[in-house]
Structure 1
Amino acid sequence: MAASETANGSSLRHAFGNVLAFFILILIGVLAFSIRLFSVIKYESVIHEFDPYFNYRVTQYLTKNGIYDFWNWFDDRTWYPLGRVIGGTVYPGLTLTAGTIWWVLNSLNVPLTVETVCVFTAPIFSAFAAWATYLLTKEVKGSGAGLTAALLLAMVPSYISRSVAGSYDNEAVAIFA
């Protein structure tokens, strides 16, 4: 009788620990997302710097003209006056990811602009990266180490600088992948 009560208490503690870890992980994801929104809250939703703006133009072209025209696109405004073949020379992961997110949201009647999706892609993927870090570290060292690793990734300054809202560059999605 005492052994079954001990087993029930242990399984209850294990289940409560899993629920608690899940809620802490959700909070870490919210922290990872919200800590990167400073510029949007203080100023406005805007694409920062040159490469992110170029990536935004490429994503905008993809969403307007489709994947086939994207792969064959020669942009005469890039590397002026020579121009550049875009479809064969860019890393397509960021563009296809944001374009797919925009397409899915518009299919669900969520009317967001391509620019809004591009601005918030990096903070969203920083939360995903924190969750992926938790899952990987949990398998290697346990749940406590996984939560610690996820929290550290959510707050590390070098990753924040690469995944702040409006920094629509390849690193934001690549670190998650």
Structure 2
Amino acid sequence: MLQSNKELVKVEKSSHYVRYLLIIGILALSFSLSFMLRTQPLEYGLELTEFDPFYNYRATQFMVENGLPAYLEWYDDLSWHPYGRDISSTSQVMLHTTGTMLYQVFGMGTSLYDFTIWFPVIISSLTTIVIFALVRTIGGTTAGLLASLFFAISPIIIMRGSIGWFKSEPLGLFYGLLAVYLLLSAIKSDKGKVSVAKIVGGSILLAFGLASWGGTQFFILPIGLFFLALPFLRKDNKIVILASIIFVSVFLLTTVSFERTGIAFVPSLNGFFLVGCTVFLIVFTIIKRII
């Protein structure tokens, strides 16, 4: 009897290992597909494409050479002639900041120009892992793996994240999806300090995404609707209220710290919607307890 139990445990462990290896294999396939499809333009040469990537490269180069404080004070008289351009108030600051930080850590002797050419390919390929984690939290492992594969081969997403496309979309999607994953994971797991850390991290990353790509605003609508639906989906409202208050507060505080969005974001449609959904959640929960 004891021997049969040991054999059963071994079989279960073996099946778990096979399952994990299968998941890792499919994720590796998603990453590889994403990488290969996004490097197809290499046949035309290793170059930045379109106008904006060259501007973003130049702005990143300025930050690499002069540092963040100088970048934030930079008024570029070579742009928007004859008036010039206040860079920090009109640019995707987190794209340039992230590019600078990653180059300083992972540049490994390559030129900044080459690094920015490869940047969207690597970030987009890493996003296949993020979207797996996000969808897995919502719909399970199989759904997550399928979502990862679909993201890797989606023509529309590939168009806005191929090699040389050093623009805001790839990084904005990466930050936005990772932020949503951390938020949902925190609420689902409800593990005290770990959940709070995830919520704070997710809110900061969403603000980083907004400072990288204006399209990150489209993440705000589903997050707000999610907050509206939460009291109807969960009986334990403690983590729900805590998550919404912390997430929205930290997100707004981080967002207003960027010159481009600034304090004007709070009374904007997106800011008002997010705050309104949070207030509704709190009021609804209080009324529900009273009744």
TM-score normalised to the size of structure 1? 0.92
Question: After superposition, where does 1:7-18 map in structure 2 within 5 Å?
Answer: 7-18=9-20
* Shift of residue 4, structure 1, vs aligned partner: 4.6
The answer for the alignment partner of 2:90 in structure 1 is 89
Q: For 1:30 and 1:94, how far apart are their aligned partners in 2?
A: 24
* Shift of residue 3, structure 1, vs aligned partner: 4.9
> Identical aligned pairs, as a percentage?
29
2:31 alignment partner, one of 29, 32, 40: 29
Contact 1:101–1:117 at 8 Å: present in 2 too? no
Structure whose residues are more often helix by fraction: 2
* Shift of residue 98, structure 1, vs aligned partner: 1.0
The answer for the alignment partner of 1:162 in structure 2 is 160
Q: For 1:86 and 1:64, how far apart are their aligned partners in 2?
A: 15
Q: Which amino acid aligns with 2:105?
A: V
TM-score normalised to the size of structure 2? 0.57
Which structure 1 residue ranges, 5 or more long, are not aligned?
Answer: none
Which one scores higher on RCO, CA 8 angstroms, separation ≥ 6?
1
The answer for the alignment partner of 2:48 in structure 1 is 47
Give the ranges of 4+ consecutive aligned residues of structure 1 lying more than 6 Å apart after TM superposition: none
Question: After superposition, where does 1:8-157 map in structure 2 within 5 Å?
Answer: 8-40=10-42, 42-106=43-107, 110-157=108-155
Per-residue CA distance 1:29-66 (angstroms, 9 max, x = gap): 121112101112x0211111111111111011111111
Q: For 2:7 and 2:109, how far apart are their aligned partners in 1?
A: 54
Partner of 1:87, secondary structure, is helix
Summarize the Cα distance change of 1:99–1:37 in structure 2 as closer, same or farther, 3 Å threshold: same
The answer for the alignment partner of 2:173 in structure 1 is 175
Q: Which amino acid aligns with 2:165?
A: S
Which structure 2 residue ranges, 5 or more long, are not aligned?
Answer: 176-291
Which has the larger displacement, 85-94 or 111-120? 85-94
Partner of 1:163, secondary structure, is coil
Q: Which amino acid aligns with 1:136?
A: L
Q: Which amino acid aligns with 1:35?
A: L
Which has the larger displacement, 5-14 or 54-63? 5-14
* Shift of residue 26, structure 1, vs aligned partner: 1.5
Contact 1:72–1:88 at 8 Å: present in 2 too? no
Q: Which amino acid aligns with 1:90?
A: S
